[in-house]
Chain A
Amino acid sequence: MTTNSVFGLIRAAVLLAAIASAGTSIGGYTAPMAVAFVWWGQALLGTVNLWGFHDVKERVRTGDIAIDFLRPINPQVAYLASDLGRAGVNMLGRGLPALLVGALLFDLAWPPGWLSWLLGLLSIVLAVVVAFAGNFIVNLLAFWLVEVRGVQLVWMIVAGFFCGLYLPVPWFPDWLRTIAQWSPFPSMLQIPLDLLSGRVMGPEMAPAVAVQVFWAITLLGLGQVVLRAGRRHLEVQGG
């Protein structure tokens, strides 16, 4: 919470100084929208699991994943359910207070209408799902690699940069923005931030959410394929 607030303060100062230096806006972000970008971003930082999780890869490594396979529920669905629960608690306990700090200290642009609120909140849920689905696949690579720490590190760095955690993706130079837009990473943070800050409004909102739905379905589907392949590959010792 304290750390989130300090980083929020500094990042807001950086973005506001940049916008003031450029004129009135950069990449569609005015000053209050940039403030909204920063503080919603700090609020969602823990909610959306950008840094990844370790329990699935540990269970693969120790062989405990075999127990998950025996359960009458698909392991991916089970872990997704618990991640959604974690995200909800995190949003209430850490996200909202961080947002409150930002709203008290700065002139923050709230979502411009009830539809922005509604789709913004839906977009947060989708962001949690996309981030989970991506991380789940990375965790499952442990079936073949045993230690996936390096892959996780790369994932964390690349995702952190391209999801819009540090700077808004619309600020990127064209070629870098194109790379970002073809990747699932903006669906993990940038899209909800766009909807909640009011940068994306009206008829542009539905396509933005559709992109998230596409990545959620694609990554969850891919996760199922990898899970099935890993299950065939798995050999657990002992008895």
Chain B
Amino acid sequence: MADHLRPYRVLLASRMRAQMQYRTSFVTDILGTVAVGIVELAEVWVIFHNVDVLGGLDFPAALLVFALSNIGFALADMFVGHLDSLPTHIRAGRVDAFYVRPLPLLAQLMTSDISLRRIGRLSVALVALVVALSTAGVAWSGATVALIILTIVSGTAIFAALFTAAGGVQFFLVDGAEFTNAFTYGGSYAAQQSQRIFPDPLRILWTFVIPTAFVAYLPTIAILDLPGDTLAPTWLAWFTPVAALLAWVVAGLCWRAGTRHYQGAGG
């Protein structure tokens, strides 16, 4: 097993070293993503400067939704966000080079980069998580801790699945990043909101089709023991891993269909 993973370890380590080679540039990049995180946080804060409750959530609860969704997205973005550049690889014919190597394509692409600068956004989200958990009045228990950990792991998996599904679709669309961004980045934006602000058809979309409601909103309802509603009962939060699993089944099928469809760059 360890032997099998060794190439990936070497690849990732080299990627990390490469990014930290130019120290100033690396620090600026991180500061940049910190600033992006702060601006997104400011968006939530400005809204709550005007209102006390939004979509059934007060500020600490909204902060928890923000934190959980951002942690999941930042982690997924760090590990597989570079699948975004797949269209460029496809058009330049570089995907063929990956095929020649004796490792699975998806695993290679995932480990072809690791965007350490996303740590900036991640740290903003972690600070938000600590503040939210300490001000929202959480009734701590083993179940709460388990749910938080489960949510972060599954949330990351859900966003990673979205990136992978989007990548699989690129083999058909070739220049379709514009289209798939709607689901990856749009999904991340939707995940940051109280789902109660959406009309029912959109809520069903964000719960059962692109399961971003599971990333933050549903767990928040359960963690803070808020009254849910028909589309967001408290127990649904525990199905977050199931949502992640289903998302990965779909992502796997998309990826398979995409790579089967791929005929090479020719020439």
Interface residues of A (CB under 8 A from B): 1-3, 5-7, 9-10, 13-14, 16-18, 21-22, 26-27, 147, 150, 153-154, 157, 160-161, 166-167, 171-173, 176
Q: Point out the residue from A14, A27, A154 that lies within 8 Å of B193, measured CB to CB.
A: A14
Number of residues of chain B lying within 8 A (CB) of chain A: 33
Rounded to whole angstroms, the CA-CA distance of A238 and B190 in the bound complex is 53
Say which one of B41-49, B63-71, B140-148, B257-265 lies at the interface with A. B41-49
Rounded to whole angstroms, the CA-CA distance of A176 and B181 in the bound complex is 31
Asked if B252 is at the interface of the complex by the 8 Å CB criterion, the answer is no
What are 15 A-B contacts defined by CB distance under 8 Å?
A2-B181, A2-B182, A3-B179, A10-B186, A21-B54, A22-B51, A27-B50, A147-B25, A150-B25, A150-B28, A157-B39, A167-B43, A171-B47, A171-B50, A173-B49
Asked if B202 is at the interface of the complex by the 8 Å CB criterion, the answer is yes
**Chain B residue with the shortest CB-CB distance to A173:** B49
**Chain A residue with the shortest CB-CB distance to B39:** A161
Would B54 and A17 count as touching, CB distance under 8 A?
Answer: yes
Asked if B35 is at the interface of the complex by the 8 Å CB criterion, the answer is yes
**Chain B nearest CB: distance from A192 CB in Å?**
20
**Chain B nearest CB: distance from A158 CB in Å?**
8
Q: Given the complex, which residues of A lie within 8 Å of B183, measured CB to CB?
A: 6
**Chain B nearest CB: distance from A31 CB in Å?**
13
Would B35 and A7 count as touching, CB distance under 8 A?
Answer: no
Would B199 and A13 count as touching, CB distance under 8 A?
Answer: yes
Would A18 and B47 count as touching, CB distance under 8 A?
Answer: yes
**Chain B residue with the shortest CB-CB distance to A160:** B39
**Chain B nearest CB: distance from A22 CB in Å?**
5
Asked if B178 is at the interface of the complex by the 8 Å CB criterion, the answer is yes
**Chain A nearest CB: distance from B61 CB in Å?**
14
Would B43 and A150 count as touching, CB distance under 8 A?
Answer: no
Q: Given the complex, which residues of A lie within 8 Å of B198, measured CB to CB?
A: 10, 13
Asked if B55 is at the interface of the complex by the 8 Å CB criterion, the answer is yes
Q: Given the complex, which residues of B lie within 8 Å of A161, measured CB to CB?
A: 39, 42
Asked if B32 is at the interface of the complex by the 8 Å CB criterion, the answer is yes
Asked if B126 is at the interface of the complex by the 8 Å CB criterion, the answer is no
Q: Mark B1-42, 1 if CB is under 8 A from A, else 0.
A: 000000000000000000000000100100010011001001
Q: Given A17-B54, A18-B51, does the pair A3, B178 have CB atoms closer than 8 Å?
A: yes
**Chain B nearest CB: distance from A161 CB in Å?**
5
Rounded to whole angstroms, the CA-CA distance of A19 and B246 in the bound complex is 36
Would B197 and A26 count as touching, CB distance under 8 A?
Answer: no
**Chain A residue with the shortest CB-CB distance to B43:** A166
**Chain B residue with the shortest CB-CB distance to A4:** B182
Would B181 and A167 count as touching, CB distance under 8 A?
Answer: no
Q: Point out the residue from B39, B54, B181 that lies within 8 Å of A18, measured CB to CB.
A: B54
